[in-house]
Chain A
Amino acid sequence: MSTPGTREATVPTAAALALGDDALILSHRLGEWAGSAPVLEEEVALANIALDLLGQARVLLSLAGDEDELAYLREERSFRNAQLVEQPNGDFAHTIARQLYFSTYQRLLYGQLATGDGPFAGLAAKAVKEIAYHQDHAEHWTLRLGDGTPESHERMQRACDALWRYTGELFQPVDGLDLDHAAMESAWLDSVTAVLDKATLTVPTGPRTGAWAAGAGRQGLHTESFGRMLAEMQHLHRSHPGATW
């Protein structure tokens, strides 16, 4: 689908879509937990993070066009989110590992954007406070699971290993984001390594990028579960073209 051209002069659409889609898709995944969390407090926490992310997504997508058209009427190949955020929830450890990797990245990213004077500075300044909570939540659960029981340790390690391969993409350049990606990546590695160390976990050693994955999601190349997720998300909206809700 096309996006309105009027705003493209001031807001880099590719960047707004990349950041907006990250927030939208991760929010959706967290929303899938509702009613199934391990404790009632986590029902509240996961919903809260999902809501924060959805709020960010709505602002970002609105910068690029109509939020609902962009969320509900694009097909898989037009989404610009990183593959990390579309990964299925898995067990609680997978959800936490995904959140740890993403929140750490997002906090660094929005931290930088907030200090600049670009089109995202206002949003980033507000969002970075929310993300600090998300990161805190993910780090504390990484510690509890990593340094909890042998079972939780094993599950957390497995989750960290499984998602590791999707983390390199976060630091691929995005059109319209004038950031020092290499510096961000190194700060991310330091931060994640410190948390995993403290959680008695081993920092994964597998590749973080490869020819198959270099910036793939950002180019509209996604993993298989993503299409099914979109089918569920978009079905009702698409069934009633032109309706308002």
Chain B
Amino acid sequence: MTAVTAGTTGTTGTPGVSDAAVAATQAAYEAVFDAAVAADERIEPRDWMPEAYRASLVRQIAQHAHSEIIGMQPEANWITRAPSLRRKAILIAKVQDEAGHGLYLYSAAETLGTSRDELLDKLHAGRQKYSSIFNYPTLTWADVGAIGWLVDGAAITNQVPLCRCSYGPYARAMVRVCKEESFHQRQGYEALLALSNGTEAQHAMAQDAVDRWWWPSLMMFGPPDDESTHTAQAMAWKIKRHTNDELRQRFVDIAVPQAEALGLTLPDPDLRWNEERGHYDFGPIDWTEFWDVLKGNGPCNDQRLSQRRQAHEDGAWVREAAAAYAEKHTGKHGEAQA
């Protein structure tokens, strides 16, 4: 790594150093940073980085972490009703993995100088977002399969390029997350396949779930390129590698043959192969709904945030107890580790 380490940047406000000298140093750091990004090198926590780059990463990684933990709710909704012990075990393992992904991602965000507590406070106050998809309700068991196939599928399409993101800790977290997500996606697909090939009622349940989750899954890639405020800068910094619309197209191209293999249809009359483009054309997305959900007016926004706040509030006395215990037993190592 050739980028300048953060420890050498403490010139701002140093007595005896002129503003011009500070500006020159700043420009030199920026040049080194830009060169590192251009050369596809990884930026690491101690490297100098533009404040806007740092802020943008904190925003994105926090939103990603929040999505993992809010995303536990729609699936956890079915743990106690899973229809076989095998499916129940798979679902518990998946929800557990999501908590684990949240932990990796908060840790990655913390390397940028924030803290998990601070980020959670922002989530609870509604000042940081999570993925719009988790504001939709899981109404039947088939929704669990549809989430695995479509929602995790969309997440993977988004996240695989992030394994090459310019910020090292985020890229490394994504490698681990993507491995587990791919596993979940296959399990979701397999659960849906069992329903599709099952009784008439099960098949109908699967079709209904796909009908409800298809469009929200396409919305997971974010607004169209001409309305995406962060894309250009994120691509210049190599945080993002592809535009929203590129990734959305890639996802549609993968999902259509999978739907055919499942024996299920996708709820889009305009969906057809375009020989000329070598891609599937698809119908218009309801962006009014997208912005509405993003603004907090989706079917489950209040419920998701309330449950998260409630869990946090209900758990306050537990966290206080752990802190008080650790305080009392500081120095007695065996016990403090308890």
Contact between A149 and B320, CB atoms less than 8 A apart = yes
Asked whether any CB of chain B lies closer than 8 Å to the CB of A43, the reply is yes
Asked whether any CB of chain A lies closer than 8 Å to the CB of B272, the reply is no
A109→B124 CA distance, assembly (Å): 44
A43→B116 CA distance, assembly (Å): 15
Asked whether any CB of chain A lies closer than 8 Å to the CB of B125, the reply is no
Enumerate A1-38 residues with CB–CB distance to B below 8 Å.
24, 28, 31-32, 34-38
A236→B199 CA distance, assembly (Å): 14
Give the residues in chain A near B252, CB-CB below 8 Å: none
Give the residues in chain A near B314, CB-CB below 8 Å: 36, 38, 91-92
Give the residues in chain B near A140, CB-CB below 8 Å: 338
Shortest B115–chain A CB gap in Å is 13
Contact between B92 and A38, CB atoms less than 8 A apart = no
| Selected interface stretch from A51-59, A171-179, A215-223 | A51-59
| Selected interface stretch from B54-62, B68-76, B176-184, B213-221 | B68-76
Q: Mark B83-105, 1 if CB is under 8 A from A, else 0.
A: 11111110011011001101100
A112→B83 CA distance, assembly (Å): 34
- Say whether, besides A148-B320, A149-B324, A237-B83, A31 and B96 are in contact (CB < 8 Å): no
Asked whether any CB of chain B lies closer than 8 Å to the CB of A193, the reply is no
Contact between B325 and A39, CB atoms less than 8 A apart = no
Give the residues in chain B near A209, CB-CB below 8 Å: none
Contact between A31 and B141, CB atoms less than 8 A apart = no
A240→B81 CA distance, assembly (Å): 13
Contact between A237 and B84, CB atoms less than 8 A apart = yes
A39→B338 CA distance, assembly (Å): 16
Enumerate A56-87 residues with CB–CB distance to B below 8 Å.
57-58, 61, 67-68, 71-72
Shortest B253–chain A CB gap in Å is 30
Asked whether any CB of chain B lies closer than 8 Å to the CB of A41, the reply is yes
Q: Which of A37, A40, A54, A243 has the most CB of B within 10 A?
A: A40
Q: Nearest B residue to A142 by beta-carbon distance? A: B338
Contact between B88 and A31, CB atoms less than 8 A apart = yes
Give the residues in chain A near B89, CB-CB below 8 Å: 51, 54-55, 58
Give the residues in chain A near B321, CB-CB below 8 Å: 144-145, 148-149, 151-152
Give the residues in chain A near B92, CB-CB below 8 Å: 31, 34, 47, 50-51, 54
- Say whether, besides A48-B96, A152-B320, A147 and B325 are in contact (CB < 8 Å): yes
A44→B328 CA distance, assembly (Å): 26
Enumerate B44-69 residues with CB–CB distance to A below 8 Å.
69
A155→B320 CA distance, assembly (Å): 13
Q: Nearest B residue to A136 by beta-carbon distance? A: B338
Give the number of chain A interface residues (Cβ < 8 Å).
Answer: 50
- Say whether, besides A35-B95, A37-B315, A47-B92, A236 and B141 are in contact (CB < 8 Å): yes
Q: Nearest A residue to B205 by beta-carbon distance? A: A240
Asked whether any CB of chain A lies closer than 8 Å to the CB of B80, the reply is yes
Give the residues in chain A near B198, CB-CB below 8 Å: 243-245
Give the residues in chain A near B69, CB-CB below 8 Å: 40, 43
- Say whether, besides A54-B85, A237-B84, A243 and B338 are in contact (CB < 8 Å): no
Q: Nearest A residue to B327 by beta-carbon distance? A: A148
Contact between B315 and A67, CB atoms less than 8 A apart = no
Contact between B318 and A39, CB atoms less than 8 A apart = yes
Contact between A148 and B73, CB atoms less than 8 A apart = no
Contact between B315 and A47, CB atoms less than 8 A apart = no
Contact between B318 and A92, CB atoms less than 8 A apart = yes
Asked whether any CB of chain A lies closer than 8 Å to the CB of B319, the reply is yes
Q: Nearest A residue to B78 by beta-carbon distance? A: A236
Q: Which of A55, A57, A245 has the most CB of B within 10 A?
A: A245
Contact between B338 and A58, CB atoms less than 8 A apart = no
Asked whether any CB of chain A lies closer than 8 Å to the CB of B201, the reply is yes
Q: Nearest A residue to B98 by beta-carbon distance? A: A43
Shortest A194–chain B CB gap in Å is 14
Residue of B73, B99, B201, B307 touching A40 (CB-CB under 8 A): B99
Residue of B80, B103, B199, B328 touching A233 (CB-CB under 8 A): B80
Residue of B72, B84, B106 touching A34 (CB-CB under 8 A): B72
A61→B86 CA distance, assembly (Å): 13
- Say whether, besides A34-B72, A152-B321, A240 and B85 are in contact (CB < 8 Å): no
Contact between B96 and A44, CB atoms less than 8 A apart = yes
A58→B89 CA distance, assembly (Å): 10
Shortest A142–chain B CB gap in Å is 10
Contact between A240 and B318, CB atoms less than 8 A apart = no
Q: Nearest A residue to B194 by beta-carbon distance? A: A245
24 A-B residue pairs with Cβ-Cβ distance under 8 Å, sorted by A, are: A31-B80, A32-B80, A34-B92, A35-B95, A36-B311, A39-B318, A40-B99, A40-B106, A42-B315, A43-B72, A47-B99, A54-B88, A140-B338, A144-B321, A145-B321, A148-B325, A149-B321, A152-B320, A235-B81, A240-B201, A244-B84, A245-B83, A245-B141, A245-B194
Which of B's residues lie within 8 Å of A, judged by CB?
A: 69, 72-73, 76, 79-89, 92-93, 95-96, 99-100, 102-103, 106, 116, 141, 191, 194-195, 198-199, 201-202, 307, 310-311, 314-325, 328, 335, 338
Which of A's residues lie within 8 Å of B, judged by CB?
A: 24, 28, 31-32, 34-44, 47-48, 50-51, 54-55, 57-58, 61, 67-68, 71-72, 91-92, 140, 143-145, 147-149, 151-152, 155, 232-233, 235-237, 240, 242-245
Q: Which 6 A-B pairs have the closest CB atoms?
A: A38-B315, A148-B321, A152-B321, A47-B96, A34-B76, A43-B99
